[in-house]
Structure 1
């Protein structure tokens, strides 16, 4: 495992240890219960990214606030999974929307004590976009390809795909294909300027690179998973918060279900609400062609698509970015399934198959 990943894991582990010590010393907990046993506040993390659309519309339209009732919602945004995991470890947030690989890493480093996945959120919306003239894996030899971060979900996907094509890429940017860690905004700009040959990115960056910089999709990640379904974003909660405030977690899930339903039933309004919230957070709304293209490439679902999580972990192991990890127990879908069953909808499962 690379020194950078080792350092990141060490930081996360230290944060977890610090949080445990603070808790033992009676540190002020903003999520303390009221007389009913429910939390007085719920601190929810999410990213200003269209793949977190259920969170964006849930906050924008007050769906979480309505579901939580007397519990105050405190929403916090993050730009990367590791930062959100560290915040969860330290007790700065209680729950967060996040990608699969940061959740896997957090589970592994806390030895299964820090978090639970309680619902799916988003499927799809990731691809390898390249310059015109690159038509196959063989054409990538000697090329520079960006991913958001070493060891993140898209980075693992690219490295695993390249390995399957007989191409190697080391963690220092060498090998047949040079993989460069760049945040999404930097990668989009670098691609437009011609300083990289492509990038494996999530939406809306795929749409930006195609519509604004004449890129082409070489690999749509949907084609690599059974049924074209794979987890891009899901909802996790700290185990401590879940144990102390199960009723509040259930209310959070009610708001989450409402947000997913809204995205799937009132698409035009949902696109606008998502874009309005993105603009409020970043100051830059998505252009209409990018917005519509990105939405068309995403599926919003409360199903966590568990087989793809186990698959992602296996892929990370195979490319040397994760030590073997037992994911048994990473899910707690009981609160979600109680709500789904009560509303006459089919339950979801955490099976690896």
Structure 2
């Protein structure tokens, strides 16, 4: 009897251990985004939301939301901590490093972050702006071929405008004939005025500043190379883990975004004043009326991320030499929270163009 009991006890312990190991394995497999995961656990509103953005007119929705307190109002007890960046790659590093929770950013770094993390780290949850990027150059540069032997600037290696420029140069057969360099936007303006820069592919308001303050001419408006002139200049992304842990906070952020876009639609004058006020607070200097009006005319504030453009944008990253291979974008887009907010407000839902499916 003692021997039989011992055997039963040993078998029982083994079964328990196997069950525990299996449970641990399943728990581990659900610890990252993507794949077959354990069900997400809603941890309630976050104590803090760290939000990235750029001091650019193409980030007008973010600037309006911050200036008018629209995000803070919707977030309630969640502390909002804004963080300003010059270009997308730096912001992506902060997101992937865990020091940022969500960010307004360009399409190029969004795709790069999704690829770098094997589709795990981030999700695209809304749009913010379409348009608002131009290739401007010295007046004597009148056609693409005139750029041969010249220096063209973009804000940062691998940022959205850097990819657009390099893809365009490749299409024009100018890749090895043009020197592409990267500078902070303010430095680009100074360098152009000093004659050190021949052309630049920039977001607003910097293309307008080179035109109005530096005497540059528009060689190409990026709208000209996209169907219907629409392309995602700025989108809103979030860390996947944050989205899973704090869906209520993400919805609150999106309510603030929708409110900011609605505010801009209601009054262009008030919207420009809010953007300029925030830019002055961040940079110490407001834009001239002429600059902000010209910049504003080139953008369209929208919470639609124009998801259908992203497969082409992923291909452009390869053509530009930024990515080695085309990124599989399945699962990049999650518009469920945005569409829930839009439904609340009686607005049409936004289409993920199939990129919400793994």
Interval containing the TM-score (normalised by the shorter chain)? 0.7 to 0.9
Q: Deviations over 1:92-150 (max 9, x none)?
A: 12111111111111111111111100000011110110111211111111111111122
Name 1:15's counterpart in structure 2. none
Aligned counterpart for 1:162 among listed residues 161, 169, 175: 169
Name 2:344's counterpart in structure 1. 342
Unaligned runs of 5+ residues in structure 1 are 1-19, 25-32, 169-174
Name 1:109's counterpart in structure 2. 116
> Cα RMSD over matched residues?
1.9
What are the equivalent positions in structure 2 for 1:286-325 lying under 5 Å apart?
286-323=287-324, 324-325=326-327
Name 2:333's counterpart in structure 1. 331
Q: Deviations over 1:286-342 (max 9, x none)?
A: 111101111111110000011222222111112221022111100000111122123
Q: Secondary structure at the match of 1:304?
A: coil
CA–CA separation in structure 1 for the residues paired with 2:108 and 2:174:
22
Compute the displacement of 1:343 (Å): 2.0
After TM superposition, where is structure 1 displaced by more than 4 Å over at least 4 residues in a row?
Answer: none
Unaligned runs of 5+ residues in structure 2 are 1-27, 33-40
Q: Secondary structure at the match of 1:113?
A: coil
Q: Secondary structure at the match of 2:99?
A: coil
1:65 and 2:72 matched? yes
Q: Secondary structure at the match of 2:236?
A: strand
8 Å CA contact retained: 1:337, 1:348:
yes
Name 2:18's counterpart in structure 1. none
Query: TM-score of the superposition, structure 2-length normalised?
Result: 0.85
Name 1:137's counterpart in structure 2. 144
Name 2:103's counterpart in structure 1. 96
Q: Deviations over 1:217-256 (max 9, x none)?
A: 0110001101100011110111111101111111110001
8 Å CA contact retained: 2:67, 2:274:
yes
Query: TM-score of the superposition, structure 1-length normalised?
Result: 0.86
CA–CA separation in structure 2 for the residues paired with 1:187 and 1:258:
33
Please say which structure displays the higher CA radius of gyration: 2
Which range moves more in the overlay, 67-76 or 103-112? 67-76
Name 2:92's counterpart in structure 1. 85
What are the equivalent positions in structure 2 for 1:1-353 lying under 5 Å apart?
37-168=44-175, 175-323=176-324, 324-351=326-353
8 Å CA contact retained: 1:310, 1:352:
no
CA–CA separation in structure 2 for the residues paired with 1:224 and 1:352:
23
How many positions carry a matched residue from both structures? Answer: 317
Compute the displacement of 1:178 (Å): 1.2
